[in-house]
Chain A
Amino acid sequence: MSSASQVAERDVPFQLRGNSFTMMVLKVFAPTSPNFFTQLNVKVRQAPNFFHNAPVVLDFDDLPEAIVFDLGAFVAQVQALNLLPVGFQGGPQAVREAAMNVGLTPMPSGRAAKLEEVVKAPDPRQPDQQAPVAAPQVLIEVVHRPTVVVTEPVRSGMRVYAEKTDLIVTSSVSPGAELLADGNIHVYGALRGRALAGFSGDTNARIFCHSLEAEVLSVAGNYRISEDIGSDFYKKAVQVFLRDGVLSMDLLKTG
């Protein structure tokens, strides 16, 4: 069975798969404003790693119908800030055509959820840097995937997968049950089953639990079985994470 599918993979030069990606949306209100790129630059500098080479979708939905601007130059300036415009949404017909001509992909418009973290208040050290009333507004939005929350006990033989997000279990996880999450895992009852965080390879993922009695713990494929969990941590509130690529555990301070 498995060998047959391996042969099939070798004979076929490609495979088509559906996938979904999280991308930022750059809502463009006034692209011709002289302050546009200085303000955007300030935003990007607040979290340079987060924005470095980040794919963005340009949202032209709020542009006035009669607007005229050089889209090619605009895109080049966005690229100069190490953002990668990959597509666009909405906008007047002329802008849409121009966007297609510079190679941007039209994206189906869906409503993005606001990510509060990204848009921060102005730096308190520079209180005088108040935006003038007529200043262009730059609002960055990220598609948000809600955390999976399980309130019932996770029984033996059950498997819960939080795809591309975090997993919170407010009840206990029985021996023989399996928790998988691409993000972090939190268990507020006893964790007696398996918990695999960073399931798709995120080495920053962590496992937090109220009472550690797990069979297997894993972060991004680095695992530890219950035999190797020291008695110092057994039935304690613990966080599990990768420290220099090695699965580590710390007691959580409670109370």
Chain B
Amino acid sequence: MSKIIVMTSGKGGVGKTTSSAAFATGLALRGFKTVVIDFDVGLRNLDLVMGCERRVVFDFINVINGEAKLNQALIKDKRIENLYILPTSQTRDKDALTREGVEKVLNELSKEFDYILCDSPAGIERGALMSLYFADHAIIVTNPEVSSVRDSDRILGVLNSRSRRAEQGLEPVTQQLLLTRYDPERVEKGEMLKVDDVLEILAIPLLGVIPESQAVLRASNVGMPVILDEVSNAGLAYSDAVGRFLGEDIEHRFVTPQKKGLFSRLLRRSA
């Protein structure tokens, strides 16, 4: 039985797509057959971050509309076994997402895959609602600042009231927090919210803290999920988060500033 995960946040630009790409890759690396779906119709990005933008022929909307078969639209990752991408349309808008169409595609995917990861667009409108409606599990991507926390709180309310599980009175969607772009030094100076501050307001379990890292932008630009960058803190933090998601007991790291010696200060620019 496949599990449907939604990566969502309410607010834009907090790292949903980066996290979706990293998480899907992490699950596939551990041997689970995984597909990641881009729900951001009209603002297609996932294919870029996954480095498969030049292989998109058919997309999610074509499949919903019956213009293409699912296998024609699914793109197999070239680096990792078991990893597939279902890109979205750049020319259509969110109205192309119908509940019946999305359900049909998800049902078909669930026959084949262990994990279906839905990359939600920003906002709480149709695109976001469709991406979370069928979810069994939600990963809430939040930055350590007040507006992102408030929007995450809002989307948690939406999950609790407008998801399929909520509407049908089933077991609620499980929810975990992924705190991204965390800069321990700025937190220490009081310029960012602490992990505990965010947890106090959102009151959901912590899946992981991803440190602010230049590796993320670098990875996006070359179309490589950052989890594959095994020397970056961000890559390691995503890998830990995937482990925790699968039930492993892994201690949180990168939440306090690293002590800097003379040597690392000299080398700071190249870090």
Are A and B a genuine interacting pair, yes or no? yes
Please indicate which of the listed interface residues B150, B154, B157 has the most CB atoms of chain A within 10 Å of its own CB.
Answer: B157
The reply on B222 being an interface residue by CB < 8 A is: no
- Candidate in B124, B153, B156, B203 with the most chain A CB atoms within 10 angstroms: B153
Stretch at the interface among A170-178, A237-245, A247-255: A170-178
B57 at the A interface (CB under 8 A): no
Give every chain B residue within 8 A of A176 (Cβ-Cβ): 150, 153-154
Quick check: which of A133-141, A150-158, A201-209 contacts chain B, the rest being far away? A150-158
- Interface residue tally for chain A (C-beta within 8 Å): 15
Main SS class of interface, A: loop
**Distance A190 CA – B153 CA, assembled complex (angstroms):** 14
Q: Are B203 and A171 in contact (CB under 8 A)?
A: yes
Answer yes or no: A192 CB below 8 A from chain B CBs.
Answer: yes
CA distance A155 to B156 in the complex (A): 7
User: CB distance A156 to B153 under 8 Å?
Assistant: yes
Does B201 count as interface, using CB distance less than 8 angstroms? yes
B 115-146 binary contact with A (CB < 8 Å = 1; else 0): 00000000010000000000000000000000
Contact mask for chain A residues 158-197; partner B; CB cutoff 8 A; 1 contact, 0 none: 1000000000000110111100000000000010100000
**Distance in Å from the Cβ of A48 to the closest Cβ of chain B?**
46
Taking the closest CB of chain B, its distance from the CB of A213, in whole angstroms, is 10
A residues within 8 A CB of B156? Answer: 153, 155
Contact at B203–A175, with CB atoms within 8 Å? no
Q: Does B160 have its Cβ within 8 Å of any Cβ on chain A?
A: yes
Within the complex, which residue of A157, A172, A177 is in contact with B203, where a contact is CB–CB below 8 Å?
A172
B200: chain A residues within 8 A (beta carbon): 190
Given the interface pairs A175-B150, A176-B150, the reply to whether A157 lies near B157 with Cβ below 8 Å is yes
CA gap between A146 and B160 in the complex, in Å: 24
Residues of chain B from 148 to 184 with CB closer than 8 A to chain A in the complex: 150-151, 153-154, 156-158, 160-161
Q: How far is the CA of A220 from the CA of B200 in the complex (A)?
A: 31
Query: Given that A171-B203, A174-B201 are known contacts, is A157 also in contact with B154, CB under 8 Å in the complex?
Result: yes
Distance, CA A152 to CA B200, complexed state (A): 14
The reply to whether B203 and A158 form a contact with Cβ atoms under 8 Å apart is no
Contact (Cβ within 8 A) A158 B157? yes
Residue of A nearest to B204 (CB): A153
A213-B151 Cα distance, complex, nearest whole Å: 18
Closest residue of chain A to B203 (Cβ to Cβ) is A153
Q: Taking the nearest CB of chain B, how far is it from the CB of A42, in angstroms?
A: 50
A-B contact pairs, 12 of them (CB 8 A): A154-B157, A155-B154, A156-B150, A157-B124, A157-B153, A157-B154, A158-B161, A174-B150, A174-B153, A176-B150, A190-B200, A192-B201
